[in-house]
């Protein structure tokens, strides 16, 4: 038996199989969309975009998109553009996070970061290219594209995702000494894209506004729980560890309650929430 992939490690068997299916589906779509044209890729820009988006990764956000769409009665293929768009946008954030002006990382997931492999200027352009192509991809949702674009722009904008990065760059240790302050950071920097994932899935399935809003709350809860778990694994909580573990349990319960409100089709969302909060 092969070792678990990054996407499936620790997940229940049925959920692991679903995550692997989504990863294969999204990776194929990313490869198709980000294939450099032979002899026409100035500065290896598209190659850099592909390198950033198709390397090792969990593809958890696209999995939430697909799970949310199916929970709302949508077809997997109808939600694929939203899932791929979100992974492109996530990849852009990682490219820019790694830059010397931000976190200044030389390696990500066992490979040189994009600015190390392609140069800083091309890395900036690659991030910009992934961001813009994400919104181009959302246009394929047709009459639902406007709602999807609005959600992703809001979640990835200056009041949520980018605010989280600004907090991360500028906050002092004292300013992040309480669980509430840490959770504000996590809600913006990590929770925002998980919220977008669940909302985009609902939109792709044609769900009503109340369901989309509820799934946004679901995504925010699992995103914060996910980041709390990551921080605990890295030993970053110190004396806040017990309080963080309790918050993970509460957030997991909140997310499961929303998922169960969708009936049997929401069971996969409930399973994802349980998995994310399992380390509490």
DSSP label at 191?
I
Structure confidence at residue 9 (pLDDT): 62
Taking phi over 0 as left and psi of -120 to 50 as alpha, with beta for the rest, 218 belongs to alpha
Q: Cα separation of 131 and 61, whole Å?
A: 16
What's the burial of 171, exposed, middle or buried (CB within 10 Å: 0-12/13-18/19+)?
middle
State the pLDDT confidence band at 230, using cuts at 50, 70 and 90. confident
pTM for the model stands at 0.95
**Structural domain contains residue 255:** yes
- Of residues 238 and 41, more confidence is placed in 41
State the pLDDT confidence band at 280, using cuts at 50, 70 and 90. low
What's the burial of 22, exposed, middle or buried (CB within 10 Å: 0-12/13-18/19+)?
buried
Is it the case that residue 5 has pLDDT exceeding 90? no
Domain count, the chain: 1
Quote the crossing angle between the two packed helices 76-97 and 145-155, to the nearest 10°: 30
The enclosing domain of 246 has a CATH number of 1.10.600.10
Please give the residue range of the domain that contains residue 180.
Answer: 13-277
**Structural domain contains residue 4:** no
**Structural domain contains residue 59:** yes
**Structural domain contains residue 6:** no
Is it the case that residue 114 has pLDDT exceeding 70? yes
Structure confidence at residue 8 (pLDDT): 57
**Structural domain contains residue 142:** yes
State the pLDDT confidence band at 147, using cuts at 50, 70 and 90. very high
């Amino acid at each position: 038996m092969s070792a678990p992939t990054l996407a499936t490690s620790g997940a229940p068997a049925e959920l692991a199989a679903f995550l692997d299916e989504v990863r294969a589906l999204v990776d194929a779509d990313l490869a198709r969309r980000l294939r450099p044209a032979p002899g026409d890729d100035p500065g290896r820009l598209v190659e850099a975009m592909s390198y950033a988006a198709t390397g090792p990764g969990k593809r958890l956000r696209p999995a939430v998109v697909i799970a949310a769409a199916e929970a709302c009665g949508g077809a997997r293929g109808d939600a694929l553009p939203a899932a791929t768009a979100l992974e492109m946008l996530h990849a852009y954030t990682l490219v820019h996070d790694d830059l010397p002006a931000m976190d200044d990382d030389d390696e990500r997931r066992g490979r040189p970061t994009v600015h190390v492999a392609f140069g800083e200027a091309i890395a900036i352009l690659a991030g910009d290219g992934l961001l813009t192509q994400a919104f181009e991809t959302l246009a394929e949702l047709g009459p639902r594209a406007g709602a999807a674009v609005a959600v992703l722009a809001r979640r990835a904008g200056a009041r949520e995702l980018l605010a989280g990065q600004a907090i991360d760059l500028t906050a002092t240790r004292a300013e992040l000494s309480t669980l509430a302050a840490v959770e504000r950071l996590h809600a913006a920097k990590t929770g925002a894209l998980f919220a977008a994932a669940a909302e985009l899935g609902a939109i792709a399935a044609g769900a009503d506004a109340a369901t989309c809003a509820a799934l946004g709350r679901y995504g925010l809860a699992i995103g914060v729980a996910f980041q709390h778990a990551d921080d605990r694994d890295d030993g970053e909580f110190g004396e806040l560890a017990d309080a963080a573990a309790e918050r993970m349990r509460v957030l997991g319960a909140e997310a499961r309650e929303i998922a169960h409100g969708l009936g049997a089709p929401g069971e996969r969302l409930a399973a994802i929430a349980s998995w994310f909060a399992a380390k509490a």
